[in-house]
Structure 1
Amino acid sequence: MPPLIRVLLLLPLAVAMPNPAGAQNFFEELFGIGRAAKPPVPPRGVPGGMQPGTPLAPPPGAPGDAPAAEAPRAPAAPKQPVVLKAPAEDNVIGQELMYNGLSGTLKLEKAAAGTTARITLPGTKISAPSESCTVPWNGGTPVALTSEGRPDGLPRFEATGGECPLRFEVVEGGVLVTSLGSSRICTVTTADCATTPTGLWGPAAATLIPRSVEFDGARGTADRAVRENYKLMTQRARGQDVRPIVTEQAAFSSDREQLCRTYAREGAHGFCNLRFTEGRALALATRLGVNTAAAPTASATPRPRRKPQPSVDGMNPDAGGATGFPD
């Protein structure tokens, strides 16, 4: 049938359609310019090579699946205390040390019966507190010391007799002295002198200032050792035992400040802060069950940085001894 005749026959039907879009679609289909002119688009493939209608695999752990064998995990290695190098007992033998690096003298010596101490104590006059004085300990006679081992990580000696019973703990280059009596003040009435020997006896400031960079690097290592050992103690302690450990750690900072603020030019070298911190780290490690006299130690000297290797064309600079890449 000619197209014109078809249009005339179907025109009444198109006019009867109320929807203009329907009439447009009618003419498009009639003349073959609408959807009928476009071939059907085949469905696209599903990603992963799956075709439409393919059932999906059940998720892991679904009912009916055999449980997968779980690989055994190795138990985590227990954390160990950080142990610094413990000072040797004889590292100060024969040296003349001064109280706070300023005055008085303390000298430890080896004798046939063991270790002896000879001390000249600085103080103030009892009758005139504004005037200074010095008094020889035990009348100037060397006093035999009793070795107490290393109960807190440092070599310890004690002298319980005489007018001023004292304890000596050896650090690197110095001696920490504490009183064994009920008072920190030692009064020698025959010499009209009152002394306070408790504190750090060490070298003069002039010999310590050139080593300030060394002390500063070692101080960082000692501080980290104290923090790690303190955290390990709190982790191992039971609930009721944690509070005393926290209180003791808080007192450590204030005790260090009080002890070292009177050392000669402490701010310029940091010798007292370093030695007191090292003693605290060793004490914590000892309480954690480490034998500081025989345990391997952490170096207190900063590790030198490795020099970067020059890069060569065709080589990987991050892999030592690597050969050139193949062409």
Structure 2
Amino acid sequence: MRRFALALALLSTGTLPAAAQLQLPGAAGAPTPVGGSGAASSGAPRSGGDGPRNSTPVAVRSPSEDTIVNRSLRLNGRQGQMVFERKDGVLSLKTLVIAGEQLSRRGEACQIEVAGGPFTAQRSGRHDGLRRYDVSIESCPFTFDVMDGAIQVNVGDATTSSPLGGVCEFKQADCRGYVAGVWGPPGNSLGPNEAREIEKVRSKAESNARSNFRALLAAQGHDKAMVKTVAAEQAGFSSRRAERCADYEREDVHGFCASRVTEAWAVALRAKLNPATFERDDDSTEKRAPTRPRPKRTAVPTPGEDLPPPVLR
């Protein structure tokens, strides 16, 4: 109680963001998928031990690479295409189609298939608990972090694509391709049944994130600076999630992006609590079966076919 009294004292003196901003995952500012009541997104404490006394972390695991193999992933669920495969234990990118705009005529769409694949995805440790990979394509190097059925692609320090960053330029093809951001299933392929399942996943992820946040906050003890840092990061999560998922196709209908980003945040909080222990436990279950039933896979389209026109931002 003394640890949480410290956090509450900081809030009351104004050294932390206002209490209304210290909202937990799923609070105001994030879409509630169709079929959801929004109750899980209120951020209010729940009954049954969800208050300050409960500071036991949830042993969440990072998603497996199996959730992205042989699936058609698209940037923001709407453009481009990535398809991964695994052979002899090696993960590789066998298809890469990038959409963007012409270098010579801004606003004019372009789309290219990057030749020379498959490209090996090299494991390079972890980022916030998620498995990170490097893809060393000469014309477009990038990293990605594995989420459940999706990936977060990073180009340098950029985590989203805009004319100012997160892009790769293919001068011979006169194309600036958008690469950084969340790549997941086509947004228009997620119907009411998928939306209901996504709502359940997100509700569970929000609960896990709340528990792991409280455990991480309690672990800071009397370190006022660290308590302030942890609380500020939590307070800013909703806005960061909204920014990452704002352009995902039909996100306001199904909420897929928000659910996966919230799962990733629960993992990040658990990893911050004890990085060495987290990695040891997580690596010991790397070959585990998926934690929930996977949706039936659809045929992967031929590269360049059945791709929606790129949406330029």
Give the TM-score normalised by structure 2.
0.64
Query: Are 2:127 and 2:145, in contact at CA under 8 Å, matched by a contact in 1?
Result: no
**CA distance in structure 2 between the aligned counterparts of 1:115 and 1:276, rounded to whole angstroms:** 22
Q: Does residue 212 in structure 1 map to residue 195 in structure 2?
A: yes
- Paired residues in the alignment total 223
Following TM superposition, by how much is the alpha carbon of 1:242 offset from its aligned partner in structure 2, in angstroms? 2.3
Following TM superposition, by how much is the alpha carbon of 1:173 offset from its aligned partner in structure 2, in angstroms? 1.5
Amino acid paired to 2:104: S
2:83 alignment partner in structure 1? 107
2:232 alignment partner in structure 1? 247
Following TM superposition, by how much is the alpha carbon of 1:125 offset from its aligned partner in structure 2, in angstroms? 0.7
1:49 alignment partner in structure 2? none
**CA distance in structure 2 between the aligned counterparts of 1:161 and 1:205, rounded to whole angstroms:** 27
Deviation track 1:107-161 (CA, whole Å, cap 9, x = no partner) reads 1112347211131111011111121111233x34221111124443322211245
**CA distance in structure 2 between the aligned counterparts of 1:82 and 1:98, rounded to whole angstroms:** 31
1:133 alignment partner in structure 2? 110
The secondary structure found in structure 1 opposite 2:130 is coil
2:100 alignment partner in structure 1? 123
Following TM superposition, by how much is the alpha carbon of 1:179 offset from its aligned partner in structure 2, in angstroms? 1.3
1:41-190 mapped onto 2 (5 Å cutoff): 79-112=55-88, 114-117=90-93, 118-137=95-114, 139-180=115-156, 183-190=165-172
Following TM superposition, by how much is the alpha carbon of 1:251 offset from its aligned partner in structure 2, in angstroms? 3.1
2:35 alignment partner in structure 1? none
**CA distance in structure 1 between the aligned counterparts of 2:182 and 2:237, rounded to whole angstroms:** 15
The secondary structure found in structure 1 opposite 2:111 is strand
Deviation track 1:219-264 (CA, whole Å, cap 9, x = no partner) reads 1111122122122212212222223223322332222111111111
**CA distance in structure 1 between the aligned counterparts of 2:107 and 2:232, rounded to whole angstroms:** 37
Amino acid paired to 1:269: H
1:264-303 mapped onto 2 (5 Å cutoff): 264-289=249-274, 290=278, 291-294=281-284
Amino acid paired to 2:213: Y
**CA distance in structure 2 between the aligned counterparts of 1:178 and 1:271, rounded to whole angstroms:** 19
Query: Are 1:84 and 1:300, in contact at CA under 8 Å, matched by a contact in 2?
Result: no
1:232 alignment partner in structure 2? 215
Amino acid paired to 1:191: A
**CA distance in structure 2 between the aligned counterparts of 1:119 and 1:83, rounded to whole angstroms:** 34
**Structure having the higher Rg:** 1
Query: Are 2:219 and 2:273, in contact at CA under 8 Å, matched by a contact in 1?
Result: no
The secondary structure found in structure 1 opposite 2:282 is coil
Higher RCO (CA-CA < 8 Å; seq separation 6+): 2
Amino acid paired to 1:123: G
**CA distance in structure 1 between the aligned counterparts of 2:156 and 2:203, rounded to whole angstroms:** 32
**CA distance in structure 1 between the aligned counterparts of 2:245 and 2:66, rounded to whole angstroms:** 23
Query: Are 1:151 and 1:286, in contact at CA under 8 Å, matched by a contact in 2?
Result: no
Structure 1 alignment gaps of length 5 or more:
1-76, 302-327
**CA distance in structure 2 between the aligned counterparts of 1:300 and 1:282, rounded to whole angstroms:** 17
> Given the superposition, is the C-alpha separation of residues 169 and 150 from structure 1 closer, same or farther in structure 2, using an over 3 Å criterion?
same
Give the TM-score normalised by structure 1.
0.61
**CA distance in structure 1 between the aligned counterparts of 2:79 and 2:174, rounded to whole angstroms:** 18
Amino acid paired to 2:262: T
1:316 alignment partner in structure 2? none
**CA distance in structure 1 between the aligned counterparts of 2:253 and 2:283, rounded to whole angstroms:** 31
Query: Are 2:241 and 2:261, in contact at CA under 8 Å, matched by a contact in 1?
Result: yes
The secondary structure found in structure 2 opposite 1:279 is helix
The secondary structure found in structure 1 opposite 2:144 is strand
The secondary structure found in structure 2 opposite 1:87 is coil
